[in-house]
Amino acid sequence: MAGHIGLGRGLVAVLSLVACLSCAAAGGRSGGGEARQRLEVRRHLKRLNKTPVKSITSPDGDIIDCVHVSHQPAFDHPFLKNHTIQMRPTFHPEGLFDENKVTSQRKSPSIAQLWHQNGRCPEDTIPIRRTSRDDVLRASSVKRYGRKKHRSTPNPLSVDPDLLNESGHQHAIAYVEGDKYYGAKATINVWQPKTQQPNEFSLSQLWILGGSFGEDLNSIEAGWQVSPDLYGDNNTRLFTYWTSDAYQATGCYNLLCSGFIQINNAIAMGASIYPISNYDGSQYDINILVWKDPKEGNWWMQFGNGYVLGYWPSFLFSYLADSASMIEWGGEVVNSEPDGEHTSTEMGSGHFPEEGFSKASYFRNIQIVDGSNNLRAPKGIGAFTEQSNCYDVQNGNNGEWGQYFYYGGPGRNSYCP
């Protein structure tokens, strides 16, 4: 009997092989390429999606996997094989907690992530947004999945107008440079800007930069983004990014490669932020702080008033292993010039800074961390935008908001054809 079953299986295998060959033939010569791509995608998903202790389905369709903290993607990095996880920073920046006391008395509405409505991850795990096959297939290649395109950091010091639009990225930012910086903080107004094309994005973030804007730029970035290409929808999502070679071969968004080590079980990188601001209605904002631990040298990130998310080990970087030489805050969009016109992808709220509170998007209480690990107001802030008729920026300063700016715009309009 066993022999017959074996024979049956053999026959099925042969028939399915013939069927596969015939469908490959029917599909023309691309069959081999497709099979290879399928295998590559499967392998990549296996690398990214670690075995969870528990999974939570978010109302927006995301699956959040609760993965044991020691099994996260960071530990695939050869230099992190025997790494002892630092479960808390040795130092927080001075001046952080005084400010939190003030904000907790004011009780601003709290922001959470959408998946919290359906559950939480247990202790000793971290929440990771599961990557789907479709996510990877939307990328230009498996290798480029989860990466920004080359040269997407705004260089306000560049005077060459041809350079400004070469990458199709446009910005409206405030920045400081000319000193050594050990961190940055901001409270960022959260919106859901519209993107015109699926391959365009709109984000609002802070950049911590070291090195030149050539091939060796080091960057740590954090904020919120709308990116249909990366996530398959138009939700506003929390994100981080890092690179140590100007977006060429190193770094990625969120936990989509080995690098960032997460220790927090409540916040998922890349998950939807909820709620978001309404034009002329309720306003919501998020606090983001990134700072360099003066003892261990790692770059830590905190979200909100108490969620210390984790850190980028300092060995990932060259210049940032020491300090940053420029900090930027603001918005970035991709302008792919559909039909030869400027994109109508919005930045911020999609409205110009002049409209002010509850209509234009803002960054407030922007601060830097100095060499003595103190949070303080930045000196000599500059503002930069490539085309102020498309997206603009306006700095200001007052008691409650400290250094702030409004930024953004609608993209294409009669003055921005």
Q: Is the peptide bond before 228 cis (omega within 30 degrees of 0)?
A: no
Rounded distance between C-alpha atoms, residue 47 and residue 44, angstroms: 5
Q: At what angle do helices 2-26 and 30-48 cross, to 10 degrees?
A: 110
Q: Catalytic annotation on 177?
A: no
Rounded Cα distance between 168 and 165, Å, is 5
Q: Of the listed 200, 328, 332, 346, which one is catalytic?
A: 332
Q: Which long-range contacts (CB under 8 A, 24 or more apart) does 298-301 make?
A: 298/86, 298/89, 299/183, 299/208, 299/220, 300/89, 301/222, 301/240, 301/260
* Residue 221 falls in the annotated catalytic set: yes
Residues 6+ apart with CB under 8 A from 405: 174, 329, 330, 353, 362, 363, 366, 383, 393, 394, 395, 396
243, β-bridge pairs: 219
Q: Which of 34, 200, 215, 221 is catalytic?
A: 221
- How many Cα atoms sit within 13 Å of 333 on the Cβ side? 33
Report the catalytic residues. 221, 332
